[in-house]
Amino acid sequence: MGHAVMTHAPTQPSEIHAHHLPTALATRVDELLDQANEYADHRELTASALIHAQVIHLIGIRPPASGELTRCTCQGCYCDRIFDAAKARTYMDGTVEFVQCIGCADEHPRTGNE
């Protein structure tokens, strides 16, 4: 009877806080995510998806099922988490849409009426 050999691959996180990245990399990630959003706004979804894939590779996180990342822009705290866009919670404050990660939405949900 043979024995199975299992190797333990390092696990990648599914999200990251931007302040944990080197400053130059965090700045580049912000620029790329802004560019991806611009492409998405103009329905250039392939270009947007390619940029998201580039960001995922640069920051070394596990690719989310949605393939799309977003940043937490919660006004209730200073959270700079980059995570799976499919898990985002959003709220409007006037005409501006803000994004909350799951942690912020659970700890201090915002509605825009605060």
Phi, psi for 80 (deg, rounded to 5) = -115, 35
Give the residue from 57, 47, 2, 1 showing the smallest Cα distance to 25.
57
- The residue behind tokens 């989310």 is 64
Q: Per-residue pLDDT tens, the chain, 114 aa: give them.
A: 555 555 555 688 899 999 999 999 999 999 999 999 999 999 999 999 999 999 999 999 999 999 999 999 998 888 999 999 999 999 988 899 999 999 999 998 887 776
- Neighbour count for residue 68 (Cβ, 10 Å): 23
Distance CA 81, CA 73 (A): 8
How far apart are alpha carbons 5 and 80 in whole angstroms? 40
